[in-house]
Amino acid sequence: MRYSARITTFFDKLAKKVKDSNNQALNKTCALIRKEAIEKMRRRPGAARAGFPPHNHVKPGLKAIAYDIQGEQGFIGPLKFRGSKFFNRPVPNIHEFGGIAVGVSFGRSSVARYPERSFMYSAVKNLQRKNKLASQFTITFRSNF
């Protein structure tokens, strides 16, 4: 008497489910970080104190934060202001990292020193402190937008 067995594997379906769930988790994490960063910025006149998120002066202004998912990476950050060509760096980059910015207007250049007013880094640290950010995600920050 002979017996034959047929084994059917569903690795393709399993791989698709794993990929879909990873994308969904990454999407939710990016959206959570974006929401936290937007909520931390207040609309007030004047400059924020150093070490605190910057104040939003125009609508949407710095609150125009977007995220994009490419493969297994998510990129989150503020949008560059349209027509802003005064500084040698984008305004959100100046707020996030601080430092020296060079402005050019009417052929004259001026150098200004800005303190760090991080809003993306502080949003991630705040979420980690509240244990809302899953430990399996590693967060890396790029030095440019």
Q: Check: pTM over 0.75? Answer yes or no.
A: no
Rounded CA-CA distance 47/84 in Å is: 19
What is the distance in angstroms between the CA of the first residue and the CA of the last residue of the chain? 70
- The pLDDT value recorded for residue 60 is 73
Residue 134 predicted with pLDDT over 70: no
- The pLDDT value recorded for residue 77 is 78
Residue given tokens 């995600």 in the structure block: 137
pLDDT tens for 75-129 read 887 777 666 667 777 777 777 778 888 887 777 888 888 887 778 888 888 888 8
- The pLDDT value recorded for residue 8 is 67
- Contact between 103 and 89 (Cβ < 8 Å): no
pLDDT tens for 25-75 read 888 888 898 888 888 877 778 777 777 777 777 777 677 788 888 888 888
- The pLDDT value recorded for residue 119 is 80
